[in-house]
Amino acid sequence: MKSVTIQINDLFEFEGQPIPAQRPDNAIIEAIARRQFEFLRQPLQIAITDTDVSVLFTDEASKAKEEAERLAVKAGKRIHYLSLTFLDTDRASWCGIVRATLCSQIPFG
């Protein structure tokens, strides 16, 4: 998990609100933090101290990287199989087969 820590007063400044004279209750602080950081991967975990707010979120990039590596290995196995299967095929045809195989492994969307 990754985290972002900011001061409670900064949350109000980000909202364009004046800094309150007294510290608001945690429910208000959490609602503002969730609104400010809604662009991060969900679900968010909010930890509030006397002066700071920490927003914890999952690092989806590592999951995406693992999936990309898995698909690359799978594509490599297919290419190896195709190279053994189509040794007698001319180069242009073989390149088309490899390109079609690789493109079928790329997740779009």
Range of the domain at 46: 2-58
pLDDT in tens, 21-79: 999 999 999 999 999 998 888 889 999 999 999 999 887 666 777 777 877 777 776 66
Number of alpha carbons in the 13 Å side-chain half-sphere of residue 36: 23
Q: How many domains does the chain have?
A: 2
* Neighbouring C-alpha atoms within 13 Å toward the C-beta of 65: 4
Q: What is the pLDDT of residue 79?
A: 64
- pTM, whole model, 2 decimals? 0.54
Cα gap 84→102, rounded to integer Å: 16
The C-alpha angle with vertex 99 and arms to 97 and 103, in degrees rounded to 5, equals 120
What pLDDT score was predicted for residue 73?
77
Q: 65 and 20, same structural domain?
A: no
Q: Give the domain-ending residue among 58, 75, 93.
A: 58
- Same domain as 6, residue 43: yes
Let me know if 107 is exposed, middle or buried by CB neighbors in 10 A (0-12, 13-18, 19+). Answer: exposed
39, part of any domain: yes
Residues 12 and 54 in one domain: yes
Q: Tens of pLDDT along 5-22?
A: 999 999 888 888 888 899
Which has the closest alpha carbon to 68: 108, 109, 100, 106? 106
